[in-house]
Structure 1
């Protein structure tokens, strides 16, 4: 098979991302069940998380295991403020600012103290810092709710009972059978805030700063030799990624109306983010979109798909047992191995590489 031309490969990847964006934009009207809307909202948030993490590992070559810590700071900031102050926008603003402030202080401290050391030692420092944050969230139950987490109310406009538009009879207006209520407003709040953050990152990597970050990734010593302050740039991108992750945490907290260690600070989430970056392709914002969509879809629907396949092959020996839904993690691992084998630079990265060989 002939290699895909570089321009054509880029067009294919960007077209796929545009299709995904369109599906997410119209998700409430295309997929009208509650679960699908939950999946779409999670995809939006994780696209921001994955793209912000790719700023570190893909564009700058920084391996960090503390990204979910900043995600948790933003989520807990909003959760605590909404719990204490009630469901108002003042609480949302205060919580978001508090989460970003804590993220800024911790990111600067970790960046300045640790980014001078070797990559593996920096990774271990971030892992230890994230572990401390997880322990504190679990133990400071008077503030964080401990292992049980915090439940709270979001602003009134996001309540399901809220009617955004009503007809002459006082009933909520429907478009294509979808009620224009608070749940719809909450989803579009998640979608457009995530879109704004993603476009900001896209602009950042396309600016001269993005070029410097790539130079640092390729050869740190050479970048420093030609005059770039490597530690300053690495600290800068670490702080930017932390602030974006914190904002994503605030948005996710408003959507979920619940914040706990398992939903924001879990190391399993960090592993998911890393897998999404690898699947989509490191060093490309488009890959972050593809990786997040594939991973989240697999987490939510692979078990159901396997259950359907097991029922369809019930008369075939051994196959129903192999396709047992309880083994979905095994098959997820197999799928990941195959993706890495056939797309060694991620889906978007491999297509671009094949185009470069044309």
Structure 2
């Protein structure tokens, strides 16, 4: 059963399997383990960017297509839902109309982009996508009447997906893991009080329904892409990545396959953008179309490991957690470095970008193939050493008769 779900593509590393299990369990039990709107938003963003990074890895890691227009399709999905709910109303039909219209527009644009640009090589295609992305960003910024310009748009979420909607009466017990860990570090002698302080009552709401719907969509998209890359279609993509000329000589129309990948990645990014709009409830050019977001997506892909797809889960989780909680961690560490001039300044929350960049440099240095790729390499080397026969004394020659 598990073999069919994962399409025979297992993590192939015990540490990686453990890491993926921790992430999956945390996402599944997130509302019961982490209290507060900030934790809810962080969990939702991880689900959203798993889809975005997995789609980008399909292009970059499996086909070696460098595109800077990925955020354009992400923004189309977000603005599609925002404009539909603003003009039609905060209803499910409005959300579906917005998603359908955004998917249709993304399909047309990605098809044109593929047919017009994929016949050029590497850097030239990247430059074309960069120009198209900047042109679309400028268009959204200028159309203030339709898109709200730089001010953005508020997303009107259906009532059934809001915090005021209560599908069930009563509350459920929850354990706030950050509070528990903080208490164990600061008051290990008072375990009873630490446990009591970490408990909270979870009241199920429409927000939880929206989160689990997003989690199901994200899991479904990831498993679909995992199935795709392990199918004959995915083998052709990897052949194009390794040697496009040889793949074309074998009879495969590489332009068709590359265009199909661009279209598929664009549609997944559009769906993720729609989910982002529903979770964030506010869209503007900065959080959906900015070039900085494209750099973040590329970093997530590199940190997780290109050409692995599992790297989308690991890279998105590590990056978003660092981006969200690194300032809090520095603030906590800074409490114990007061009075030390140089260290106090370096560990200040205002320098979190410095440490964020340092963490990225260290991750690339120690994990040159990404976290997933490097863990697989280390596991493969360990298995090779274990399978080698131990060196023993040479066998004595048989006596001659």
> TM range, normalised to the smaller chain?
over 0.9
Cα offset, 1:354, TM superposition: 2.6
Cα offset, 1:356, TM superposition: 3.4
Does the CA contact (< 8 Å) of 2:155 and 2:277 recur in 1? no
Partner of 1:3: none
**Whole-angstrom distance in 2 between the partners of 1:34 and 1:26:** 15
Task: Give the number of the structure whose alpha-carbon radius of gyration is greater.
Answer: 2
**Whole-angstrom distance in 1 between the partners of 2:265 and 2:17:** 23
**Whole-angstrom distance in 1 between the partners of 2:88 and 2:310:** 39
Partner of 1:174: 171
* Cα distance, 1:198–1:9 mapped onto 2, change above 3 Å: closer
Does the CA contact (< 8 Å) of 2:41 and 2:279 recur in 1? no
Cα offset, 1:116, TM superposition: 0.9
Does the CA contact (< 8 Å) of 2:81 and 2:155 recur in 1? no
Cα offset, 1:9, TM superposition: 4.7
2:22 equivalent among 19, 24, 43: 19
Cα offset, 1:217, TM superposition: 0.4
1:278 aligns with 2:307: no
- Equivalence map 1:1-358=2 (5 Å): 9-166=12-169, 173-176=170-173, 177-357=201-381, 358=384
Name the TM-score, length of structure 1 as normaliser: 0.94
**Whole-angstrom distance in 2 between the partners of 1:202 and 1:175:** 35
The answer for unaligned runs of 5 or more in structure 2 is 1-9, 174-200, 385-401
Post-superposition CA distance 1:210-239 (Å, at most 9, x none): 111111001000110111110000000110
Aligned with 1:253: secondary structure?
helix
**Whole-angstrom distance in 2 between the partners of 1:291 and 1:108:** 28
Does the CA contact (< 8 Å) of 1:14 and 1:286 recur in 2? no
The answer for unaligned runs of 5 or more in structure 1 is 1-6, 167-172
Post-superposition CA distance 1:147-179 (Å, at most 9, x none): 01111311111121111112xxxxxx2111210
Runs of 4+, deviation exceeding 4 Å: none
Post-superposition CA distance 1:299-333 (Å, at most 9, x none): 11111111111221113341111111111111111
Partner of 1:169: none
**Whole-angstrom distance in 1 between the partners of 2:18 and 2:232:** 25
Post-superposition CA distance 1:223-270 (Å, at most 9, x none): 101111100000001100000000011111111221111121111110
Does the CA contact (< 8 Å) of 1:147 and 1:261 recur in 2? yes
Aligned residues: 346
**Whole-angstrom distance in 2 between the partners of 1:152 and 1:34:** 17
**Whole-angstrom distance in 1 between the partners of 2:239 and 2:348:** 48
**Whole-angstrom distance in 2 between the partners of 1:115 and 1:82:** 35
Does the CA contact (< 8 Å) of 2:71 and 2:293 recur in 1? yes
**Whole-angstrom distance in 2 between the partners of 1:24 and 1:353:** 27
Name the TM-score, length of structure 2 as normaliser: 0.84
**Whole-angstrom distance in 2 between the partners of 1:196 and 1:87:** 26
**Whole-angstrom distance in 1 between the partners of 2:341 and 2:88:** 60
Cα offset, 1:14, TM superposition: 3.0
Coordinate RMSD, CA, aligned:
1.3
